[in-house]
Amino acid sequence: MLDAALELFAHRVPEDVSLDDVAEAAGVSRPLVYRYVPGGKQQLYEAALRSAAEDLEHCFAEPPEGPLTQRLSRALDRYLAFVGEHDAGFSALLQGGSVVGTSRTTAIVDGVRRAAAGHILRHLDVAEPGPRLRMTVRMWITAVEAASLIWLDEDKEPPLDELRDWLVEQFVACLVATAARDAQTAEVVRAALAMETADGPIGTLARQVLPVVGDAAHLL
């Protein structure tokens, strides 16, 4: 029954999912749904959301090996695949104003954000991340959510792998900008760059950025 609910809530806005739909998809009677889920649609929605949140948190797990951009790319690949598979439900959830949105659903979504931030900070390998590094990571996570919503809204354009690479580049850019005013982030950036290779994403980004900023020698 939970599988059926998950599937329905993934592809429709919550308003368009009825308990009759869930009963039919699960091949059970409506009274049986109510016996197992006395809280009705709201309870079923929250159970489906908790299950989806667990799946999503698994997307972020990545062994702490190799260049950071590779690890981030792999996690983003899984995250964007998840977003693509839960399109209507993902949009409805994050856009708010849904009839099933409560402080409990907000708490579940926030838990996923915190888990994502925790994973990233562990990969950045700092024992006690300071406020600027934490804020940078959380800002980027929110920006990724915004990009995901726009991506769904624009029929999944650009293609997943392009969006993924771009989001990785945005992360590097945000970290570098924060490094200008935060010694801890500067150390993180130095350590991260040392692991990258010229044919990797940061090498490519650096070579593409230089001609754009090259005319701005008057700023140095």
Q: State the residues that interact with a second copy by CB under 8 A.
A: 95-98, 101-107, 110, 131-132, 134-136, 138-147, 150, 154, 157-158, 162, 166, 169-170, 172-174, 176-181, 186, 189-190, 193-194, 196-198, 200, 202-210, 212-213, 215-216, 218-220
Least distance to a second copy from the beta carbon of 80, Å?
14
Which token pair is 27?
A: 């091949």
Nearer to a second copy by Cβ, of 28 and 118: the residue is 118
- Residue 59 CA to residue 78 CA, distance in Å, equals 5
The residue (of 4 and 100) whose beta carbon lies closer to a second copy is 100
Of residues 32 and 139, the one with the C-beta less far from a second copy: 139
- Report, in Å, the least distance between residue 191 CB and a second copy: 10
Assess contact for 75 and 59: CB atoms under 8 A.
yes
Half-sphere exposure of 118 (CA within 13 A, CB side): 9
Could you tell me if 181 and 132 are in contact, meaning their C-beta atoms sit under 8 angstroms apart?
Answer: yes
Q: Select 76 or 179, whichever has its Cβ closest to a second copy.
A: 179
Least distance in Å: CB of 115 to a second copy?
16
Q: Which amino acid is at 208?
A: Q
Torsion angle of C-alpha atoms 32, 37, 38, 44, degrees rounded to 10: -130
Q: How far is the CB of 30 from a second copy (least distance, A)?
A: 27
Cα–Cα distance, 57 to 70 (Å, whole number)? 18
